[in-house]
Amino acid sequence: MVDAFLQEQMAAIGLPGAAVVVVQDGVPLHAAAYGSADNSGRPMTADTPVLLASTSKSLTAIAVMQQVEAGRLRLDEPVRTYLPWFTLQDSRASGITVRHLLHQASGMASKDTAFEGSFAQDPEALEEGVRDLADSPLAGVPGAAFGYANANFNVLGLLVQTVAGQPFGDYMRQHVFEPLDMGHSHPTRAAARADGAAAGHSLWFGTFWQQTEVPAPTTGMPSSTMYASANDLGRELSMLLNEGQFRDGRILQPDSVRAMLKPGVRVDGSKMYAMGWFTRPLVESVPAAEAADDASLPLLAEHQGEWGNSHTYLAMVPDSGLGVALVINANDTSAPSRLKAIDTNILRILHGQQPIPAVVQEDWLQRYSWAVALGLLVAELLSLWLALRVLVRSGGAYDGGGRLPLLAVGLAALALDAFALWLCFIYAPARFDTDLLVIIRQFPDLGVSLVPVLGLAILWAVPRTVWLLIQALRRGVP
């Protein structure tokens, strides 16, 4: 039934390709793939690497716990013990510990530490990105509350790199991917593409799917830019459900796995964050998964990965030994809840329940941000046309049913420019918890409209205003 549901959803939404793996008690139970990996029509397979986005964090957490077991890292030791130069624009940064980073409770905020707009692919980008955090403020007290930021796991990756004495990507290959037989998992875009990685797709203008290139910088390798296939993720889940054992080898000790999955900081309501995993009672996704009391409710550990052109999902129910890995080589950034509903419905189906219709949860601005951007571009172009027409007409004014004062044209144009700049530089970054460069590069249908809007609002505003003022003064307009 999972196959039929996914194929139905792909057809309804228009998704290009997907792959799913189900494991039970550490053993692969089902694997399937559907659709195409790219525009050539190459079939998607369960071994096709896909950009993981935030499900990369679960892999990094494994590496961190390996180093804790080796005695090279301690969970409650400050980051500065291992990176003496680590700092932010706040003296409280000295109190950030390894555990704070794993629990997304360092006090760093996404909008202040955003890197997702970078195109960096060099091996040094990870350390450079962490060093660049020195210019970032702290949004909260370390350890006081949950605050999701990819930077937390980027710092963890650099910690692993530093104490292990080898580049983070090499460490992941040698100590995580190879022992888990994850032959189609890669730390870099170049390695993934050499292995036939799926091309990402974005929904443009809420209308059509387009194969789209968005940044996947090595700066964010530990948090969001590793690649893996559905089959490989299934092997990761098998290991974790077997408390660190994979086939004849041990990747982690049972205590380390339990520590990874233990809820550490409250997100909201019953949702908690462990170490690279969100946790909540399974009953919230699968209502039939009830228990005699709250303490014995089965726990669901899960994490979604959301990028500009891919969506991934990992879920485990340790009490029942069930694990699910889903990779989709596309994302609808205007309404990601539609794809998140697929994740939840797979869990429902596997527990014998019927899927429920998706409810789009995003507000109007996120759903129609592309239309707002297009509207701004049209308004700026009309403003440009009107100003030029007024200025080049004889006498510096436009006579069409009444004289249009030059200063009124200038003030209206300045008001439009100010609104566009406020929306782009202040409101939208705060609303989406990131910076403008990330919005432009990760949301390409917005970028094609916002770049010319900003160009007109910044570059044309001054000469237009000066020109209008000169014309107004010449005509004696007060």
The structure tokens 């716990």 sit at 65
**Who's near 302: CB < 8 A, 6+ residues apart?**
277, 278, 279, 280, 313, 314, 315, 316, 343
* Distance (Å, whole) CA 439 – CA 76: 35
Asked if 200 contacts 53 with a C-beta cutoff of 8 angstroms, the reply is: no
Nearest to 316 by CA among 297, 302, 298: 302
Neighbours of 152 (CB within 10 A): 26
Structure tokens at 287: 């209502």
- What type of residue sits at position 342? I
Secondary element (H or E) of residue 10: helix 2-13
Q: Is the pLDDT of residue 288 over 70?
A: no
Nearest to 57 by CA among 143, 161, 156, 178: 156
The pLDDT, as a whole number, for residue 400 is 42
Tell me: the pLDDT tens digits for 251-269? Answer: 999 999 999 999 999 999 9
The structure tokens 């990965």 sit at 305
Secondary element (H or E) of residue 436: helix 436-442
CA-angle at 327, arms to 103 and 311, nearest 5°? 65
- What type of residue sits at position 351? H
Q: Where are the alpha helices (DSSP H) in 168-327?
A: 168-172, 189-194, 230-241, 254-261
Neighbours of 138 (CB within 10 A): 20
Q: Is the pLDDT of residue 5 over 60?
A: yes
- Cα torsion angle, 182, 320, 8, 3, sign: positive
Distance in Å from the first CA to the final CA of the chain? 74
Q: Is the pLDDT of residue 477 over 90?
A: no
* Distance (Å, whole) CA 111 – CA 119: 18
* pTM for the full predicted model: 0.93
39-43, 222-226, 227-231, 459-463, range with the lowest pLDDT: 459-463
Mean pLDDT (the chain) is 92
Neighbours of 328 (CB within 10 A): 33
Q: Report which of residues 473 and 97 the model is more confident about.
A: 97
Asked if 59 contacts 226 with a C-beta cutoff of 8 angstroms, the reply is: yes
* Distance (Å, whole) CA 299 – CA 309: 30
Tell me: the pLDDT tens digits for 412-431? Answer: 889 999 999 999 999 999 88
Nearest to 161 by CA among 219, 114, 240: 219
For the segment 439-466, the average pLDDT, to the nearest whole number, is 92
* Distance (Å, whole) CA 448 – CA 442: 11
Phi, psi of 439 (to 5 degrees): -60, -45
139, 144, 149, 151: CA torsion to nearest 10: 90
Q: Where are the alpha helices (DSSP H) in 330-405?
A: 337-350, 364-367, 369-392
* pLDDT category of residue 15 using cuts at 50, 70 and 90: very high
Instruction: Supply the Cα-derived Rg of the chain in whole angstroms.
Output: 25
Phi, psi of 75 (to 5 degrees): -60, -35
379 bridge partner residues: none
* pLDDT category of residue 471 using cuts at 50, 70 and 90: confident
Task: Say how many residues make up the chain.
Answer: 478
* Distance (Å, whole) CA 281 – CA 443: 33
**Who's near 449: CB < 8 A, 6+ residues apart?**
370, 373, 374, 376, 377
Tell me: the pLDDT tens digits for 59-68? Answer: 999 999 999 9
Asked if 133 contacts 194 with a C-beta cutoff of 8 angstroms, the reply is: no
The pLDDT, as a whole number, for residue 396 is 44
Give me the DSSP letters along 261-303.
HS--EEEETTEEE-SS-EEEEGGGT-TT---SSGGGSPEEEEE
Asked if 118 contacts 93 with a C-beta cutoff of 8 angstroms, the reply is: no
Asked if 228 contacts 42 with a C-beta cutoff of 8 angstroms, the reply is: no
34 bridge partner residues: 18
Tell me: the pLDDT tens digits for 20-32? Answer: 999 999 899 999 9
383, 389, 390, 391: CA torsion to nearest 10: 110
* Distance (Å, whole) CA 358 – CA 341: 5
Angle between the N-to-C axes of helices 406-422 and 461-474, in degrees from 0 to 180, rounded to the nearest 10 = 160
Q: Report which of residues 291 and 41 the model is more confident about.
A: 41
Neighbours of 141 (CB within 10 A): 13
The structure tokens 């060099």 sit at 122
